[in-house]
C-alpha cells in the first residue's frame, strides 16, 4: 500500500532543489574571457556556455511558477527561479501543497527535476542530453550509445518524442545561441546533440588555421560553437 506524500516530503524535495539551483545557474552562466579585437584586450562577460543547464533552469522556473500558483503565491516581480524556490521553501506553503489531491504528481515532478539537476551538477557518463520534450518542455536524456532510439518517452509527461526531431530542434538552438567554450567542452556538448565531434579535431582545425579562438579561459582557447558547427557541416570530419 502506497502512502500519500505529506508536507515534509514536499518540503524536503523543494529544499534539495533549491540547494542544487545555484550550482546549476553557475554552470549555465559561467564567466569567460572574450577577445574583442586583434589586440590583447579581453573583457569578462557572462556567456551562456551550457545550453543544457539553461534549458533545465527554464524548466525549473516553469515548475516553480506552477507550484506557486498551486499554493496561491503571488509571484509578481519575482523572475528568478532561485527567488521562486525560496518562497516555496516554507513549512506553511508546503502544507498547502500537501493538502491538494495531486500531491503524488507534485512529488513526481520534483523528483524528476532533482534527478535532472543532479545529472548536470554530477554528470552520469552513461547518459547524454538530446533536447527538450515537445509536450512539456522538460529535458530528454538517452543512453550514451552509438544507436539512437526512434522515440524517447518523456519521464515527466510520459509523451513520446521522435528522437531525430528533438535533436534537430536542439541543433538549431545551438547554432543561434552565441555559445563559446573550450574544444573539450564543445565536443562533449556536440556529441550530446548527435554530432561526431572530437576535441582533437577542433584543436587541429585551429592549428591548420581553419578555426580562430575568440578568447580564453584559464589559459585555454575558447571557440564559437557556430564556427565549429559550420566546419562540421563543411568538412564532414570528426
When pLDDT is cut at 50, 70 and 90, the band that residue 34 belongs to is: very low
pLDDT tens for 154-183 read 877 889 999 989 988 887 877 777 788 899
pTM exceeds cut of 0.85: no
Written in H, E and C, the secondary structure of 95-108 is: HHHHCCCCHHHHHH
Contact indicator for 232, 197 with CB cutoff of 8 Å: yes
Mean pLDDT, residues 90-103 taken together = 94
Give pLDDT, residue 49.
Answer: 46
Q: Is the pLDDT of residue 231 over 80?
A: yes
pLDDT above 70: residue 38: no
The mean pLDDT of 144-152, rounded to a whole number, is 83
DSSP label at residue 6: -
Q: Is 14 or 196 the better-scoring residue by pLDDT?
A: 14
Give residue 159's pLDDT: 94
Does residue 14 surpass a pLDDT of 90?
Answer: yes
Mean pLDDT of 32-61: 55
- 9-31 b/e with 16+ CB inside 10 Å = b? bbbebbebbbebbeebbebbeee
Lowest mean pLDDT segment, chosen from 20-34, 92-106, 158-172: 20-34
- Give pairs for 230-237: CB < 8 Å, separation 24+: 231/205, 232/190, 232/195, 232/197, 235/205, 235/210, 237/201
Amino acid at each position: 500500500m502506497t502512502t500519500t506524500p505529506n508536507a515534509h516530503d514536499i518540503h524536503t524535495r523543494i529544499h534539495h532543489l533549491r540547494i542544487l539551483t545555484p550550482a546549476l545557474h553557475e554552470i549555465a552562466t559561467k564567466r569567460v574571457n572574450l577577445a574583442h579585437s586583434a589586440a590583447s584586450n579581453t573583457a569578462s562577460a557572462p556567456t551562456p556556455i551550457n545550453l543544457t543547464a539553461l534549458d533545465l533552469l527554464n524548466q525549473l522556473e516553469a515548475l516553480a511558477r506552477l507550484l506557486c500558483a498551486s499554493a496561491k503565491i503571488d509571484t509578481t516581480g519575482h523572475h528568478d527561479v532561485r527567488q521562486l524556490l525560496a518562497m516555496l521553501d516554507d513549512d506553511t506553503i508546503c502544507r498547502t501543497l500537501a493538502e491538494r489531491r495531486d500531491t503524488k504528481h507534485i512529488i513526481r515532478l520534483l523528483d524528476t527535476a532533482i534527478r535532472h539537476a543532479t545529472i548536470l551538477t554530477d554528470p552520469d557518463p552513461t547518459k547524454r542530453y538530446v533536447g527538450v520534450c515537445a509536450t512539456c518542455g522538460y529535458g530528454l536524456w538517452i543512453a550514451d550509445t552509438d544507436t539512437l532510439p526512434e522515440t524517447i518517452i518523456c519521464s515527466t509527461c510520459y509523451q513520446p518524442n521522435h528522437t531525430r526531431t528533438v535533436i534537430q530542434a536542439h541543433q538549431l538552438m545551438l547554432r543561434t545561441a552565441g555559445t563559446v567554450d573550450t574544444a573539450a567542452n564543445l565536443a562533449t556538448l556536440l556529441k550530446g546533440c548527435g554530432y561526431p565531434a572530437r576535441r582533437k579535431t577542433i584543436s587541429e582545425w585551429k592549428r591548420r588555421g581553419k578555426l580562430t579562438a575568440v578568447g580564453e579561459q584559464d589559459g585555454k582557447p575558447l571557440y564559437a560553437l557556430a564556427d565549429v558547427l559550420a566546419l562540421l557541416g563543411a568538412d564532414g570530419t570528426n
